[in-house]
Structure 1
Amino acid sequence: MGKLELNKKKKKDALFTTAFELFTTKGLAKTTISDIVDQAGVAKGTFYLYFKDKYDVRNKLISHKTGELFYHAHEALARTDICDFEEQVHFIVDYILTELDRDHTLLLFISKNLSWGIFKGAFEEKMPDEDYHFYQSYLDMLSKSRATYENPELLLFTIIELVGSSCYSCILYQQPVPLVQYRPYLHASITAIMKTFEATPA
């Protein structure tokens, strides 16, 4: 990456970092574009090089933060010797739950704003190495699976919806039970979902 590209990335990262801080402290409604650029130390024109408005930066920030979570989970998975696809899915889920349990601000931000349409943006979000794409990584893992699954995108959607909706209260409010008690049931449900999506041998 050349000096010009590095400088662009630095400015975009500064806008992302500042927007996340302001959105999670002041709230989206009370945050202005002027607030973001002033605190990030960039010109307002630079903001419009990357984003249409503050709602656009919010949506892209959700994709970016979500993509980062999966990227780091993938990195952690690569340091293991787990080869089975189902076990890989369980590992990634556990990794992400641990991170969200550690960072409640991130959990609140993602949970309040995430929709499937926005999440799909994370599929193509370029991560720090500029080569990693979460969805392609997911498909690569799936291609090595001993089992064949129907509709891989719907399988992913179902697991993510289950994890996101059911763990929010367990992490933030310890309701109906703390996350540590809920994890075994969650993993059993994921296993059942994956079994449902298995293709019937011809």
Structure 2
Amino acid sequence: MGKLELNKKKKEDALYNTAFELFTTKGTNKTTISDIVEKAGVAKGTFYLYFKDKYDIRNKLASHKTKDLFYTAYQAVRQNQIIGFPAQLHFMIDHILDSLRNDSQLLIFVSKNLSWNVFQAALEEQMPDRDVNFYDKYLQLISEDHQAYEHPDLMLFSVIELASSTCYNCILYQQPVPLEEYMPYLHRSIDGILSSYKKSTSAACPD
């Protein structure tokens, strides 16, 4: 990467980091583009080289943060040599929730801004230093287990939505119960989601 590209990347990173700080402290509605560029130390024109408006940077930021959670969870699956797709998915959910439990600002931001469009963008973003996206790796995990699922993208979205929405209060407020107490029930619900998306043997392997 040349000096010009490095300078562009530095400015873009500054905008992302500043926007995240302001969105999680002031809130999106009270944050202006002027606030972001002033704190980031860049010109307002530079902002519009990368983003259409503050909602565009918010959505892209939510996508980046979500992708990073997936990527580090996927890495942990491989490093720990977890076998079998259901076990791998449960492990990744635990890993993601541990990350969110240790970063309440990230939990609040992701929970508030995880829309379907943001979720799809996160799945399709390339992993760091790899010409591949998380969704391809997710499908690879499924194929290695030899169990076919209908709409694997919707299945993953259902699991993530369930985990993020139900664990939000458990992590932040210990309500209705602390996260540790809720986790067994969450995993049973995830098993139910997986079962509901499974293709029958006859559907997966037609005559």
Q: Is 1:63 aligned with 2:63?
A: yes
Which residue in the other structure is 2:49 paired with?
49
Q: Is 1:173 aligned with 2:173?
A: yes
Question: 1-side partners of 2:190 and 2:5: how far apart?
Answer: 41
Question: 1-side partners of 2:131 and 2:9: how far apart?
Answer: 15
Q: What is the CA-CA distance between 1:132 and the residue it aligns to?
A: 4.3
Question: 1-side partners of 2:190 and 2:123: how far apart?
Answer: 21
Which residue in the other structure is 2:39 paired with?
39
Which residue in the other structure is 1:119 paired with?
119
Q: 1:160 to 1:28 in 2, by over 3 A?
A: same
1:178-197 matched pairs, under 5 angstroms: 178-197=178-197
Deviating above 4 A after TM superposition, structure 1's stretches of 4 or more consecutive aligned residues are none
TM-score, length-scaled by structure 2? 0.92
Contact 2:119 2:157 in 1 (8 A): no
Question: 2-side partners of 1:72 and 1:2: how far apart?
Answer: 28
Which residue in the other structure is 1:85 paired with?
85
Which residue in the other structure is 1:14 paired with?
14
Deviations 1:45-65 (A, max 9, x none): 211111001111111111111
Q: 1:181 to 1:196 in 2, by over 3 A?
A: same
Question: 2-side partners of 1:107 and 1:12: how far apart?
Answer: 23
Question: 2-side partners of 1:69 and 1:136: how far apart?
Answer: 16
**Greater displacement, 45-54 / 136-145:** 136-145
Unaligned segments of structure 2, at least 5 residues: 203-207
SS at match of 1:144: helix
Equivalent pairs: percent with the same residue? 61
How many residue pairs get aligned? The number is 202
Deviations 1:56-76 (A, max 9, x none): 111111111111111111122
Q: CA RMSD in A?
A: 1.4
Q: Is 1:146 aligned with 2:129?
A: no
Question: 2-side partners of 1:146 and 1:103: how far apart?
Answer: 35
TM-score, length-scaled by structure 1? 0.94
Contact 1:148 1:199 in 2 (8 A): yes
Unaligned segments of structure 1, at least 5 residues: none
Q: 1:133 to 1:36 in 2, by over 3 A?
A: same
Contact 2:85 2:142 in 1 (8 A): yes
Question: 2-side partners of 1:117 and 1:52: how far apart?
Answer: 16
